Amino acid sequence: MKCQKCGALAVINMRQHRLRLCESHFVEWFQGMVQRTIEKFEMFTPADRVLVAVSGGKDSLTLWDVLLRLGYQAEGMYIHLGIDEAIAYSESSLASCHRFVANHHPGAALQAVDVGGKYGQAIPDLARKTQRGRGKPCAVCGLVKRHIMNRVAREGGFSAIATGHNLDDEASVLMQNTLHWQAGYLARQAPVLLEREGLARKVKPLARIYERESAAYALVQGIDYIQEECPFARGSTTNFYKELLDRLELNSPGAKQQFYLSFLQAREAGQVAFAETAAAELQPCSRCGQPTTAGDLCAFCRLWDRS
Ligand code: Q46
Ligand code: ZN
Ligand code: ZN
């Protein structure tokens, strides 16, 4: 198998793009694709400071690597959730982030917020005590992560929060939302969520990158990421839809990309319109000052009151 650009040995065959590339042409293609996504969706410019939410996994470390190599001012933020579950998940994933900085970008800034240390309880305990999420801490975890990310981004004066969501993630969420005709979610599913009162801008520069391509990039760049998923992700609905889409992709290369990108294009062209539920008004939480729609106290502060 030969690289279509230079004839050297190809390391990846991307059937969905009808493209086989050698290591260096793949890296060039990958970084170009991310750069074009950032520009197409006007995510940020080199003058902006971007906060990258890093988990120690392949997608977020790949994203951080690409942004730094493209010359963006990208700083990493890790949230220590206190998830152990026999594989010391949180400790190992934080170690991956430190290794990444030490081995690839020694000057890069990485800040870590330890939920247990800062707020007194780690995520699994907090979820158990507040009894949210039927035995899975994901609802509590999502709420806490969103709150901390937003706070750090706003206090640090960052222009945007960048997450490592890839095309497989986006296509599987789109499939879930479509099968349930979640019009409100469909209206809002986009690679950029604009800033609004007290809520930082959120961007997904890997939205057009397949998970397999992101893993290949990490591999060829020698990024030593944590291979294990969070133990609570096992059996999740998102993973179920990802498997369905993988089967579709196997029979019809490019199906995932067509599903997601055609949705974005059709919406942009005004061919599909979803009534967005009127954006509820936001007001600052009386305790922490973060925006909330839920009256006096935000959901994060109410959560800790219940613990
Ligand atoms: S980290 Fe948190 Fe995920 Fe683990 S507990 Fe669930 S939400 S699965 S992205
Ligand atoms: Zn080549
Ligand atoms: Zn609050």
Q: What is the pLDDT of residues 205-243, one digit of tens each?
A: 999 999 999 999 999 999 999 999 999 988 888 899 999
Output the pTM of the full model. 0.95
Residue 78 Cβ < 6 Å to ligand 1: no
Q: What is the C-alpha separation between 110 and 212, in angstroms, rounded?
A: 26
Q: Which of 9, 31, 33 is nearest to 21 (CA)?
A: 9
The H helix count followed by the E strand count for the chain is 12, 10
CA–CA separation, 119 vs 139, rounded Å? 17
Output the pLDDT for position 271. 80
**Beta pairing, strands 12-14 & 192-193:** unpaired
Minimum-distance ligand 1 atom for the alpha carbon of 145: 2
* C-alpha 159: how far from chain center: 16
User: C-alpha distances in angstroms, 197 versus 29, 149, 248?
Assistant: 37, 15, 40
Report the nearest-CA residue for atom 7 of ligand 1.
Answer: 138
Q: Is the model's pLDDT at 132 over the cut of 80?
A: no
Mean pLDDT for the stretch of residues 79-102:
94
Among 157, 82, 69, smallest CA distance to 112 is for 82
Distance 25 CA to ligand 2 centre (A): 5
